[in-house]
Amino acid sequence: MKVVSARRVGFVTAALAALLALCVLLGLAAGPSEVGPARALAALFGADPSGPAADIVWRVRLPRVVLGALVGAALACSGVLFQALLRNPLADPFVLGVSGGAALGGILALSLAGPLGLGYAAVPPAAFAGAVGATVLLYAFAGSRARFSPTQLLLTGVVFNAFASAGIVFIASVAGLSEGTSIFLWLIGSLSSVRAEVIGWVAAFLACGVGCALTLARSLNLLALGSESAQQLGVDVERDQRIVLLATSLMVGAAVSAAGLVGFVGLIIPHLLRLVVGPDHRVLVPAAALGGAAFLVLCDTLARSLLGGRELPVGALTALAGGPIFLWLLRRQAQRVLGS
């Protein structure tokens, strides 16, 4: 493991923060309309505050950029935590079924929204409830023994994911046409439905999750050696594992409820950054939060700009970008292992 100094943490954080700032600026300056960098800048600094350019920059682009940054950070951060918890670099919040639970809740609300007269606004809270439900189930089944077994956690997640997908398909089959289209968009992940209150939740849960992760960074480093070694080195393994699982589920629940199933961010970003900054969680956690945020903001800017007025779901882009990168990373890692 590389030696980590405060200076190194500071340098990595500053570099990634600069990258995030660049992506945010790009996100505010680019879009499908003719409001380019110059007009966006003018609108940002108060030119014609009731005009369409101001509406576009302040009320359409800015909330999406903010939500994209929060969701990206939450997903990447929870990826880091799950990978540390399960000692498996391929672990992902989605693998554990938390996202499946969120999607199930959201789609249930979507199909009931019409008959009950609730409207689309009922969906994000229900998705969040589903994520929390999945976490509780995960706890009840995988955490009922004296200690978490990574295998049992993963298997519980896989089974719950299968159950959730079956439930989603079932509900989608029962629901009609227009619900069908939004179910599709929702499942693939999109930032187009931004709501102020959702941004608040995601921000709160992200702060909580990153806080937990930074506090437990040392434990996370030791957990990488295996739970028995970590225990011998003074880590309260069970307690820390529970805290990490809870924090992660909160972050994923909030992210999925706000943006649907945006895949690969929790897998790609931690992996990519581990190659750059090393495996120490005191650097990796803030780096993943910033990197994930920058990545999703960039992807969403492309998603809403590429096709003119029409929108691509951002989840399609992250998956398109993420899949090949992931395979490349895998290959590189395998070669390194073989070469060493």
Task: Kindly state the smallest distance separating residue 44's Cβ from other proteins, in Å.
Answer: 15
CB of 201 to other proteins, least distance (A): 18
Q: How far apart are CA 322 and CA 190, in angstroms?
A: 16
Cβ closest to other proteins, residue 56 vs residue 289: 56
CB 34, min distance to other proteins, A = 7
- Specify whether the backbone of 209 is left (phi greater than 0), alpha (psi in -120 to 50) or beta: alpha
In the chain, the amino acid numbered 162 is A
Q: How far is the CB of 293 from other proteins (least distance, A)?
A: 21
Nearest distance in Å: CB 91, other proteins? 31
Measured from the CB atom, is 75 or 303 closer to other proteins? Answer: 303
Least Å distance, CB 215 to other proteins, is: 38
Backbone angles phi, psi at 308, to 5 degrees: 70, -135
Q: CA distances (Å), 7 to each of 4, 14, 91, 194, 262, in order? A: 8, 10, 30, 37, 33
Q: Which amino acid is at 53?
A: A
Nearer to other proteins, 24 or 283 (CB): 24
- Both tokens of 198, joined, read 């959702």
Instruction: Report the alpha-carbon distance of residue 266 to residue 272 in Å, rounded.
Output: 11
Helices within the chain (DSSP H only): 6-29, 37-44, 52-54, 62-86, 98-116, 123-142, 150-174, 177-188, 196-215, 217-223, 227-232, 237-259, 265-277, 281-305, 314-339
Q: How far is the CB of 36 from other proteins (least distance, A)?
A: 12
Of the pair 89, 125, the CB lying nearest other proteins is at: 125
- Reading the block at residue 225, the tokens are 């050696």
Q: Which residues bind other proteins (CB under 8 A)?
A: 31-35, 50-52, 54-56, 59-61, 114, 117-121, 173-178, 180-182, 185, 190, 192-193, 304, 308-311
- Of 308 and 339, the one with the shorter C-beta distance to other proteins is 308
**Minimal distance in Å, beta carbon 279 to other proteins?**
40
Cβ-based nearer residue to other proteins, 117 or 234:
117
DSSP 106-143: HHHHHHHHHHHT--GGGHHHHHHHHHHHHHHHHHHHHS
In the complex with other proteins, the residue whose CB is nearer, 128 or 148, is: 128
Q: Which is nearer to other proteins, 78 or 182 (CB)?
A: 182
The closest alpha carbon to 212, from 241, 244, 186, belongs to 244
